[in-house]
Amino acid sequence: MKKSLYLIFHGRFPSEKAASLFAAKSAEAFAAIDLDTTLLVPRRLGRSSETAAKYYQIKNNFKTAYIPVLDLMAFPLFKKLTFFISFFSFALCSAMYLLFRASKEAIIFSNESLPLYTASLFFKNTFFEMHDFPESKYSFFKNFFRRIRWILSHNKWKKEKLLKTFDIPESKVILLPNTVEVKDFDIDISKKDAREKLSLPLDQSIAVYTGHLYGWKGVDTLAEAALLLPQVLVVFVGGTPVDVLNFRKKYKDIRNVKIVGHRPHTEIPLWQKASDVLVLPNTAKEDISKYYTSPMKLFEYMASKRPIVASRIPSVAEIVDDRTAMLVTPDNTEELAYGINAILKDAVISSKLVDAAFARVKDNTWDNRARKIVEFLEK
């Protein structure tokens, strides 16, 4: 009989958010290694009407259960209150669903603290994937980590901080970075053909950033660096409608900046293949960027076989080094522009970085990640 795994995710699903994609790819990977997988998501407003399989172009090999939730998050006022109401009602309804549907031996997997804590009151095999690090509510998290059977940390900094702060046995924690579906980004298309499909200039150097336009992503540093790169077209792909609108207003006068906005996830590999250089300008001013993250985007860049310029911060430097990327001082427009220029001017260095980055990422697949998790659970 198959083992059962229930993956709990509180966000809109499916949606343009990276966290939604992460949930979908995780569920697909667990199902691919023969776990009976069900993804629990809230029945929220604003989610796409498409199935996850169609939206993300993934296998239709797991079940999706839409859990009732008090969704007031469409209202702009009292955002913290409406989020808590949604989160709390989802936690309760998820636990009720599991009580009626899941066996006592089922694995309950989530990066959502409150729903997983609620589930831990009834199920012993609980697994927490820690995306951020708790900056408050230490008493809650101390009790939470005591109840949770397994914990995943994306990087060494978070693991060491977790063990020290909450006095957790090391045997309870697995260290595992984020990952990528390499074949989705290593697509068979030339730079010229990719540009023609996207109506991009064929005779101009192009630097591409794909991802959200949040401040901690360092996108303002890249936009300002474009002023020092007048011969380079700097392309931003992604962002929520509001963020895209604000970003366009802010940088409308920089002629060599092109702000594309949100594009389907299946189109992102094309934009990355159309580039001469891919940029990850994460800031060092916020801990979520400097320490907490294990950037999925960086793995996607590595799989795209294009040279990378990235911020030299702990969360990034744990994945790439000077042999696999051009690392520059974060939040420094001059250094970022210099790094991009250096890549564009030296084809030999560029090629070496590409080959080394791809060699490092090619086995870092979703299926391999799921297998490592299951092997850890079975120890």
Q: Any idea what the CATH number is for the domain that residue 229 is in?
A: 3.40.50.2000
pLDDT digits 0-9 by tens, 218-271: 999 999 999 999 999 999 999 989 999 999 999 999 999 999 999 988 899 999
- One domain, residues 173 and 189: no
Which pLDDT score is estimated for 291? Answer: 84
Q: Strands of the chain (E only): list them.
A: 4-8, 36-42, 63-67, 107-110, 126-130, 150-153, 173-175, 205-210, 232-237, 257-261, 277-280, 308-311, 326-328
- One domain, residues 193 and 319: yes
Which pLDDT score is estimated for 74? Answer: 61
- One domain, residues 335 and 248: yes
What residues form DSSP beta bridges with 263? none
The residues, any chain, with a CB within 8 Å of residue 216's CB and separated by 6 or more, are: 282, 283, 285, 286, 288, 289
Other C-beta atoms within 10 Å of 250: how many?
14
Structure tokens at 43: 């029945």
Which pLDDT score is estimated for 46? Answer: 66
- One domain, residues 139 and 230: no
- One domain, residues 22 and 139: yes
Task: Tell if the pTM clears 0.75, that is, is over it.
Answer: yes
- One domain, residues 229 and 274: yes
- One domain, residues 172 and 23: yes
DSSP state for residue 149 in the 8-state scheme: S
- Region of 238 please: left (phi>0), alpha (psi -120 to 50) or beta: left
- One domain, residues 32 and 54: yes
Are 31 and 64 spatial neighbours (Cβ–Cβ below 8 Å)? no
- The residue ranking higher by pLDDT, 109 or 84, is 109
Residue 93 pLDDT greater than 80, yes or no: yes
106: containing domain: 4-179+364-377
Number of domains in the chain: 2
Return the H-helix or E-strand segment holding 342: helix 333-345
How high is the mean pLDDT of the chain?
Answer: 93
Which pLDDT score is estimated for 257? Answer: 98
